[in-house]
Amino acid sequence: MPAQARRHPAAIAFGARVRARRKELGWSQRVLAEQADMDWSYAAQVERGERNLTLLNILRIAEALDIEAADLMDGLRLNPLKEPDLGVT
């Protein structure tokens, strides 16, 4: 399977949150891309969970959508099956 075909659950969830907020604002992917200073095809790939974003792109998208980056990331885990280590014994 090509690398692009493998999508991580966190990337899929992040993309779904971006799409939901964009639609809430009544924007097209092109408008989001313009507001976030990125190509529209990149924004589309983000929404499909096909991109592993840099911190700066996460911040660009969050600012464009007028939402906190933390809200887009809340609860996402690298390994969703692993319990968080809270450092408590």
10 Å CB burial of residue 70 (0-12, 13-18, 19+) is exposed
* 60 contacts 53 by C-beta, under 8 angstroms: no
pLDDT given at position 86: 58
Could you tell me the CATH superfamily of domain 3-73? lambda repressor-like DNA-binding domains (1.10.260.40)
Residue recorded with tokens 């390994």: 79
> Domains of the chain: which residue ranges?
3-73
pLDDT given at position 79: 83
10 Å CB burial of residue 65 (0-12, 13-18, 19+) is buried
- DSSP class of residue 26 equals T
- Residue spans of the chain under pLDDT 70: 1-5, 80, 82-89
pLDDT given at position 89: 54
pTM of the entire predicted model: 0.83
pLDDT given at position 30: 97
pLDDT given at position 1: 38
pLDDT given at position 6: 82
